[in-house]
């Protein structure tokens, strides 16, 4: 018998016409996911994509896998049910900053704190694209939109800070158009046993074009991006001569330049994926004072939810087919 043919990225593309606005960052993310699954060599028949409502939520139609296009904000809840029903499945949740952090914020919180073994990818374009450009939970103060014509007065949600606060054990960031980096991060997320949360900065060419240019454009990227690698110093800049260190006597980061004022490489902080406090500090960095931290911010595995559920079932003696005995078991009483 000939050996099985290696799976290719195109094998994960469905026969459906991809319908996003020309130039939308979602196209790049879709291609990155196709490549990730091909590189991993996963089975299409054991892979499931679950989405809610929004531009990003068209995703399951464009995957040659199983999929559910569900209701607004509830994708994490339905994905939890899928994983509990069949823990052998690879489950991916596709959501956006509106779907996942507004109406779905509560469901996102619980799938992360429970540590269900699935991968949640949040497309963040800081706007509601599907419903024509209203401001979203991640929109910055001052954002002018049909729902905030004089500018938003809301303080934005930081997606990764939210995930860390919810108890996520794996939190990472990437950019829609940087395929090699995004594929690497998605592979790390897939390898993590438990809930993985990946925020992808995604450009909406129609309603919020260029909102991330200050750190994603070719001109800005070198000085405005900090690529995280576990065990390596937090260096960035054209010649990697800039770094981050703690201010003396304070739990606060500052930018330093190697060679200036006696600053040496040993003065620069080393990234530790298991350090929650470091992850929280890195999440909050914003240009122009600081670079944007990209990569795995936090990774500290713990037992997954469905593994503990099934362990509890086994400990209890497993299921029973005697419904009568089950109903009469334990704390029961008779009413005269």
In this structure, the answer to whether residues 242 and 260 fall within a common structural domain is: yes
Mean pLDDT of 295-313: 97
Q: Is 256 helix (H, G, I), strand (E, B) or coil?
A: strand
Q: What pTM did the predictor assign?
A: 0.93
Domain shared by 23 and 165, yes or no: yes
Domain presence at residue 323: no
3-state secondary structure of 24: coil
Q: What is the pLDDT of residue 323?
A: 84
Q: Are residues 65 and 168 in the same domain?
A: yes
Same domain? For 60 and 203 the reply is: yes
| Tokens 């016409």, located at residue | 17
Same domain? For 58 and 106 the reply is yes
248 and 300 in one domain? no
Residue 88's CB is within 10 A of a number of other CB atoms, namely: 7
Domain count, the chain: 2
CATH code of the domain covering residue 71: 3.40.50.970
Residues whose CB falls within 8 Å of the CB of residue 191, separated by 6 or more in sequence, listed in order: none
Shared domain for 46 and 139, answered yes or no, is yes
Residue 4 pLDDT level (bands cut at 50, 70, 90): low
163 and 215 together in one domain: yes
Q: Judge whether 156 lies within some domain.
A: yes
| pLDDT tens digits along 162-192 | 999 999 999 999 999 999 999 999 999 999 9
Query: Helices 305-315 and 75-85: crossing angle, nearest 10°?
Result: 40
Whether the pLDDT of residue 5 is over 90: the answer is no
Find the domain containing 168 and state its range: 9-231+272-306
What are the φ and ψ backbone dihedral angles of 256, each rounded to 5 degrees? -130, 160
């Amino acid at each position: 018998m000939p050996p099985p043919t290696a799976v290719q990225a195109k094998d994960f593309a469905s026969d459906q016409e991809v319908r996003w606005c020309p130039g939308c960052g979602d196209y790049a993310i879709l291609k990155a996911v196709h490549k990730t699954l091909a590189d991993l060599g996963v089975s299409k028949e054991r892979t499931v994509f679950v989405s809610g409502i929004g531009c990003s939520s068209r995703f399951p139609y464009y995957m040659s896998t199983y999929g559910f296009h569900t209701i607004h904000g509830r994708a994490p809840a339905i994905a939890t049910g899928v994983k509990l029903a069949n823990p052998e499945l690879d489950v991916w949740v596709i959501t956006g900053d509106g779907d996942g952090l507004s109406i779905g914020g509560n469901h996102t919180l619980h799938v992360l704190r429970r540590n269900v073994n699935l991968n949640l990818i949040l497309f963040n374009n800081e706007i509601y694209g599907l419903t024509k450009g209203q401001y979203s939970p991640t929109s910055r103060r001052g954002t002018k939109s049909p729902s905030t014509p004089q500018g938003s007065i809301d303080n934005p949600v930081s997606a990764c800070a939210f995930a860390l606060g919810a108890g996520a054990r794996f939190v990472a960031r990437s950019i829609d158009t940087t395929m090699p980096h995004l594929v690497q991060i998605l592979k790390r997320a897939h390898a993590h046993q438990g809930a993985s949360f990946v925020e992808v900065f995604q450009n909406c060419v129609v309603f919020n074009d260029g909102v991330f240019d200050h750190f994603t454009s070719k001109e800005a990227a070198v000085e405005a991006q900090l690529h995280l690698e576990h065990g390596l110093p937090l260096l960035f800049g054209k010649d990697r001569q800039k770094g981050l260190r703690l201010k003396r006597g304070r739990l606060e980061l500052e930018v330093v330049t190697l060679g200036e004022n006696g600053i040496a490489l040993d003065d620069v902080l080393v990234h530790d994926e298991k350090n929650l406090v470091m992850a929280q500090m890195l999440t909050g960095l914003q240009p122009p004072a600081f670079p944007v931290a990209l990569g795995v911010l936090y990774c500290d595995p713990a037992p997954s939810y469905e593994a503990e559920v099934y362990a509890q079932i086994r400990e209890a003696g497993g299921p029973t087919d005697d419904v009568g005995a089950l109903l009469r078991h334990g704390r029961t009483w008779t009413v005269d």
